[in-house]
Structure formats: structure tokens, C-alpha cells
Chain A
């Protein structure tokens, strides 16, 4: 059974550009959530999607957005990139509707903003 797949694994952008990251959840999982990991702030929740609807949102500016498709694949977009957006972006999927399920993470997309 394939795990959570994130693409691209590495990317370099310059300030002001935008970026789109993709996440394919474990087959059958309908919940996808996104996290940002930085050395200074640790792991922080960005947002969660379930059945194409955003169910939860963290405390990030509107430059960070996401969506989920009917096949449960998800994308997140960051517009007008800032140096501080350099981070490892992790996607997680869960097979349960409730809050009691186990989350499975992908390998992440490492974004460097120059």
C-alpha cells in the first residue's frame, strides 16, 4: 500500500514568486492536512481538508491557501513568497472522519526562498 506522496521534494524560489505543492494521500484516505516545519517555530498546522472542504485552518496569512480534489489529492499554494516561508512542508492523511484517527505523513517538500 503506497504511502503519502508529496511533490516536488525540493524547490527553490525567489521572493515574490508563488509556489504550488502537491500531496497524494494514502488510497482511501479522505482527510488531508498540511503542516509547516521550521527550526524556529517547529511544526505548525496550516489547514485540513476533508471531502474537498476545508475543515480546519491554522493561524497563517491568506497567502497560504489550499484545495482538495474529488480524488482526495490536495494542493497548497503560497503566493508572494517571503524569506520566512522557507521550510519543510509536510502533508498528512487520515482514514477517519473523527478526531481519533492516526495521521500518516509524507516525506515533505522542502522550499527554499532566496
Chain B
């Protein structure tokens, strides 16, 4: 059974800082890994999707990497802004479109 863990559970940083969010998974037989953000009381917004054959994906100030052999993915956020404050979730895909989610990292970017 796939288990996905995210560290840290919560993170508070000053505006402008670069930061890394970590995601680890126990079963390396994944099809892809997806990062989402969730604002309070809202649904999930897809940030980046990394296919199992890829090593990383970039979108604007976001860069996600995937290392299947070690069961790890990282989300790098450059020059953080208060608008980045949200909960960040990683999820691996097994069979079908079934996602296994991590526990999330609650990020607060302070002025």
C-alpha cells in the first residue's frame, strides 16, 4: 500500500525567501506525481505534474523534481510571496486515476 509523507507539516517564512517542500513515497512504482495547492475552504489547484519518466518540471517560480529510486519529490518555490500562503499537497498516481495524497505542508509567507 502506497504511503505518502510530507515534511514539514507547517512552515513559516519571510517574503522573498526561497523554500523547498518535501514529499516521500514508499512504493516507487508510480505513474506520475502531482503537486497541488489548496486555499482554506477551497478545492485543489494543480501546480505541476511530473511523469515517471521525467526528472523535473518547471512553471514560473515553481520547480518540482522527482527521484523514483529514492521515493522522493521536492517542490521548490523561488522568491516566495504572501499569495503563496496555502497548503501544498503532493500525490502519486497508481492504477487508474487514483491519487494517494500526502499529509500536506501548510505554508505561511509573512510580509
Instruction: Identify the A interface with B (CB < 8 A).
Output: 4, 6, 31, 33, 35, 42-45, 48, 50, 55-56, 58, 90, 92, 94, 98-108, 110
CB-CB under 8 A from A105, the residues of chain B are 36, 43-46
Known: A90-B44, A103-B46, A107-B43. A43 touches B97 (CB 8 A): no
Q: Is the CB of B97 within 8 A of A31?
A: yes
Query: How many angstroms between the C-alpha atoms of A106 and B96 in the bound complex?
Result: 19
Known: A99-B32, A105-B36. A33 touches B43 (CB 8 A): no
> What are 27 A-B pairs at a CB distance below 8 A?
A6-B43, A33-B97, A33-B98, A33-B99, A35-B101, A42-B101, A42-B104, A43-B89, A45-B99, A45-B100, A48-B98, A55-B97, A56-B97, A58-B98, A90-B44, A99-B32, A100-B32, A100-B52, A100-B93, A102-B34, A102-B49, A103-B34, A103-B46, A105-B36, A105-B44, A105-B46, A106-B43
Query: How many angstroms between the C-alpha atoms of A97 and B53 in the bound complex?
Result: 18
Contact residue among B42, B94, B99, B100 (Cβ-Cβ distance under 8 Å from A103): B99
Query: How many angstroms between the C-alpha atoms of A93 and B81 in the bound complex?
Result: 29
> Does B63 touch A at the CB level, under 8 Å?
no
CB-CB under 8 A from A90, the residues of chain B are 43-44
> Does B103 touch A at the CB level, under 8 Å?
yes
Query: How many angstroms between the C-alpha atoms of A16 and B34 in the bound complex?
Result: 37
Known: A102-B46, A103-B34, A104-B46. A48 touches B97 (CB 8 A): yes
Closest Cβ neighbor of A43 among chain B residues: B101
Contact residue among A42, A100, A108 (Cβ-Cβ distance under 8 Å from B31): A100
CB-CB under 8 A from A43, the residues of chain B are 89, 91, 99, 101
Query: How many angstroms between the C-alpha atoms of A103 and B36 in the bound complex?
Result: 10
Query: How many angstroms between the C-alpha atoms of A44 and B36 in the bound complex?
Result: 15
> Does B51 touch A at the CB level, under 8 Å?
yes
